Every structure is written in C-alpha cells, then in structure tokens.
C-alpha cells in the first residue's frame, strides 16, 4: 500500500507492486482509485484480492458498500468479486485458491463469515450466525437518499426510519455527523463502524429509531464517497461547505414530510463532534445536541493531539494562520449557542484531548447555557469497556427523548 509518492493524508493510498529484484512501483488500483486497507495474494501469485477500507471506490448509492476487488498483476485489470449492497473485509483464501472467505455485513446486521467460490457466477454462502438475537427484533429501515447542496453538488446519505413507519406523520429527526473528516457511513447495524473490525457505536441508532425517531447519516464533502477531490474540498474551510451539505440534507428530509422541523437533533463524535459543536454555534434550529470526543478549538488540537500535525494539511501553520484556525473553531462563536448540549468525552483521549470538552463546557456554563458534561474514566477516543458502551448509548437515547419527545 502506498500513496504513490505523495506525502499528503488526502491522497489515494493505493495498491502498488514492485519486482523483488527492484524497479519502479506500479499502481494496481488505478481503476478503483481506492484507499486500500487489506489485501491477500492469490495462491498462484498472479492476482491480488483487496478491500477499499476507506475513501470508498464507488460513487452514488454505492458509496455505502465495500466490495472485495481482484486485480491481475500482469494486466492491472480489476474486477469486483463480491456482489450486492454489502460491506466486506478480512479476506482469506483456501489453500487451493478456489474459495474466498470473508466477513460480510448486510444492511441491518453485525456481519457474518461468508465463503464464495471463485468461479464465474460463484455464489456466497453464509457460514455463521453470530447475532441470532437480531432475528427476534423488529428493526428500522435504512436506505440511501440524495439531495442537492447549496452549489448544486449531489450529496448522499442514509436515512433510518422507525420500524413500521408509514410516513403518515412527521417525527423527530436526528442528524448523525460522521468522524474523520476522511470517513463516512456504510450499511450495518452501526453504520459508522462496519467497514472494518467494528467498534461499538456511542449512539444506538436502532434504539433511537424504535423510540420513534428518524436518523439521517449524511455524507458531506470532505469525507468518503467523492474521491480525493472531495477530501480536499474542505481545506481551509471546516464548517463551511460540509455544514451546508448537512443542513441541505435536513431540509430535504423535512420536505419529504418525514422530519418535524420543530424536533430536530444533531450528534457526532470526533470530527462529527467538531461538526456538532460547530452546528449549534451556527444555527438554533436544533432542539438538542450530543457531542462526543469533540473538537471545539482547532488550534489546541494541533498543539495537544497525538495526530495534530494533520491540521497543517487543512489549515496551514497555526503560528502563521491563527486567524484561520479561530475562524473555524466553535469556541469562537460560543455566545451563539441556544441548543441544549450533552458533552461526553473519554478521560484518556489522546486524539482529541479532554480539555477540548472542558473548554467548551466551561464557556457554555459561564454564559448560562444548557449544557451537561460527562467524562468516562479510562476511556480513550473510543470506549472499550462494555458497561461504558452500554451507558453512553443509554444516556444519548434518554437525552434526545427528553428534548425531542418522540
């Protein structure tokens, strides 16, 4: 895997081969332009199976899928191996090279092991049923939707509606902002984390749907689904075009007659936490918000985060461009907040240090805003303890039930 000679994070991390004896590397992923996360050689070494774990290789409704591809070494030709709207990873070949095993996530599952015969028209067979309890539950319906943003760009997202929802009445809408910025949503029970070995989400979106709320998972510019050019569309401009993309999606769901414009909520973690903080400083349309491992001050993120150097790629040197950092930081506009905000953070978060949450909370509290802060002991950028995972999902559900009254 290589960025092909570029040093930017906002690039294609493609699949390259080079002769063992030396020579120039050759890119095998030029057709898919995919950010490769996993690969496995065929038994005859004539081809490679690979998975685009980020910066999805498909566009439109396909951006929520994650197929397994195969590229031939001699010709560089690529073909899609898996079919259907699924999210696949962890490929492994049989000893004779005739079968491919992998984990596959369908629209409303946590993923199971499948085996597929590597012959034309070969069918995939499901071998496991790791969460049989799901069959006993009535889950909401999730489907791709798309809308036009302020500049005419087509933006996509997933929309989750409650079990049995018939569209006859308007219901509360939660907008879930994804992390990243280079990131996005896929199919799966936890749509933000099903593209790789899954983390447990902080928002139990199916529980929220069962409580009578719809959930919008927007894919704004800056994240996956629009190629490298899409990644770069938010350089020097976090909270500008991406914010407008999200709000255009909210307006679209309202226009469908699904969302009640007086009962809107917004939530997200990491970059999604930045976006949530930013949104409540830019508009008072949302009646409740929840933000996790959130970024309130971009300059502090550069100086204190374990990954802060990537901020230079977006905004330049903070010593020289401090005004640009401040202009795109929620803390600068904290006086504008009218939305009740639940702030949650892991005590030992190195990616987005705890002070980001404490700083925003302190400012909001001193201004008399409605805000609560929860710090999860031992927690990092994600929570790994089952009791904490369960508790944060319960708290977020209760928070939105309190303010949106589904």
| Span 115-119, average pLDDT | 93
Burial, 74: exposed, middle or buried (Cβ in 10 Å; 0-12, 13-18, 19+)?
exposed
pTM for the structure as a whole? 0.94
| Span 17-36, average pLDDT | 78
- Look at residue 56 in the predicted model and tell me its pLDDT: 61
Band (pLDDT 50/70/90 cuts) for residue 130 is confident
For residue 188, is pLDDT > 80? yes
Structure tokens at 146: 């798309």
Residues belonging to the active site: 270, 381
- Look at residue 24 in the predicted model and tell me its pLDDT: 83
Angle between helices 271-282 and 241-255 (to 10 degrees): 70
Task: Give the residues across from 101 on adjacent strands.
Answer: 92, 115
For residue 29, is pLDDT > 80? no
% pLDDT > 70, the chain: 97
Q: What is the CATH number of domain 16-130?
A: 2.120.10.30
Q: Strand 259-269's sheet: what is its strand order?
A: 141-148, 154-161, 214-219, 171-177, 259-269, 288-292, 341-346, 371-376
For residue 254, is pLDDT > 90? yes
Query: What is the bridge-based pairing of β-strands 341-346 and 288-292?
Result: parallel
Alpha helices in 100-177 (DSSP H): none
- Look at residue 122 in the predicted model and tell me its pLDDT: 86
Intra-chain end-to-end CA distance of the chain, in Å = 47
Would you state the torsion angle of the CA atoms of residues 55, 57, 63, 68, taken in this order, to the nearest 10 degrees?
A: -110
Class level of CATH domain 138-404: alpha beta
Query: 3-state DSSP call for residue 371?
Result: strand
Percentages of the chain per state (helix, strand, coil), in multiples of 5: 25, 25, 50
Phi, psi of 250 (to 5 degrees): -60, -45
For residue 11, is pLDDT > 80? no
Decide if 296 contacts 357 (C-beta within 8 A). Answer: yes
Q: What whole-number distance in Å separates Cα of residue 229 and Cα of residue 336?
A: 32
- Mean pLDDT score of the chain, rounded to an integer? 92
Alpha helices in 237-321 (DSSP H): 241-255, 271-282, 298-304, 310-315
Tens-place pLDDT, residues 152-182: 999 999 999 999 999 999 999 999 999 989 8
- Look at residue 19 in the predicted model and tell me its pLDDT: 83
- Look at residue 391 in the predicted model and tell me its pLDDT: 96
- Look at residue 232 in the predicted model and tell me its pLDDT: 92
Burial, 223: exposed, middle or buried (Cβ in 10 Å; 0-12, 13-18, 19+)?
buried
For residue 32, is pLDDT > 90? no
Range with lowest mean pLDDT among 107-121, 167-181, 284-298, 388-402: 107-121
Q: What whole-number distance in Å separates Cα of residue 6 and Cα of residue 16?
A: 13
For residue 113, is pLDDT > 90? yes
Tens-place pLDDT, residues 335-359: 999 999 999 999 999 999 999 999 9
For residue 396, is pLDDT > 80? yes
- Look at residue 57 in the predicted model and tell me its pLDDT: 66
Highest mean pLDDT among 49-63, 184-198, 279-293: 279-293
Tens-place pLDDT, residues 197-229: 767 789 999 999 999 999 999 999 999 989 888
- Look at residue 31 in the predicted model and tell me its pLDDT: 66
Q: What length is written for the chain?
A: 406
Task: Give the residues across from 99 on adjacent strands.
Answer: 117
Burial, 319: exposed, middle or buried (Cβ in 10 Å; 0-12, 13-18, 19+)?
exposed
Domain boundaries, the chain: 16-130, 138-404
Range with lowest mean pLDDT among 27-36, 311-320, 344-353: 27-36
% pLDDT > 90, the chain: 74
């Amino acid at each position: 895997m290589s960025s092909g000679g570029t040093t930017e994070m906002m690039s294609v991390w493609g699949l390259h081969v080079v002769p063992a004896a030396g020579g120039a590397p050759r890119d095998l992923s030029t057709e898919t332009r995919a950010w490769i996360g996993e690969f496995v050689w065929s038994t005859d070494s004539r081809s490679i199976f690979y998975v685009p774990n980020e910066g999805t290789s498909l566009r439109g409704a396909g951006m929520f899928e994650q197929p397994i591809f195969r590229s031939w070494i001699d010709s560089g030709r690529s073909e899609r191996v898996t079919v259907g709207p699924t999210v696949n990873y962890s490929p492994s070949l049989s000893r004779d090279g005739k079968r491919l095993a992998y984990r596959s996530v369908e629209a409303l599952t946590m993923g199971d092991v499948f085996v597929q015969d590597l012959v034309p028209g070969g069918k995939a067979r499901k071998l496991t049923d790791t969460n049989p309890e799901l069959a006993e539950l009535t889950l909401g319906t999730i489907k791709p939707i798309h809308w036009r943003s302020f500049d005419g760009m087509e933006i996509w997202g997933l929309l989750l509606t409650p079990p049995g929802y018939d569209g006859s009445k308007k219901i509360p809408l939660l907008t879930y902002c994804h992390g990243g910025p280079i990131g996005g949503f896929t199919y799966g029970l936890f749509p933000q984390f099903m593209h790789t070995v899954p983390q447990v989400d902080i928002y139990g979106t199916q529980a929220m749907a069962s409580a009578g709320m719809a959930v919008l998972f927007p894919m704004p510019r800056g994240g996956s689904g629009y190629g490298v050019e899409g990644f770069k569309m938010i350089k020097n401009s976090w909270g500008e075009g991406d914010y407008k993309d999200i709000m255009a999606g909210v307006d679209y769901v309202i226009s469908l007659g699904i969302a009640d414009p007086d009962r809107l909520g917004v939530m997200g973690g990491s970059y999604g936490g930045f976006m949530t903080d930013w949104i409540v400083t830019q508009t008072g349309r949302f009646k409740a918000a929840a933000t996790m491992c959130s970024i309130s001050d971009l300059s502090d993120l550069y100086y204190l985060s374990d990954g802060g150097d990537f901020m230079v790629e977006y905004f330049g040197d903070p010593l020289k461009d401090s005004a640009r950092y401040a202009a795109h930081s929620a803390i600068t506009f904290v006086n504008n907040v009218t939305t009740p905000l639940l702030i949650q953070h892991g005590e030992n978060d190195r990616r987005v240090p705890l002070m980001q949450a404490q700083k925003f909370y302190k400012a909001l509290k001193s201004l008399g805003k409605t805000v609560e802060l929860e710090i999860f002991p031992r927690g990092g950028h994600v929570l790994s303890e089952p009791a904490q995972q369960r508790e944060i999902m319960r708290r977020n559900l209760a928070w939105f039930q309190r303010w949106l009254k589904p």
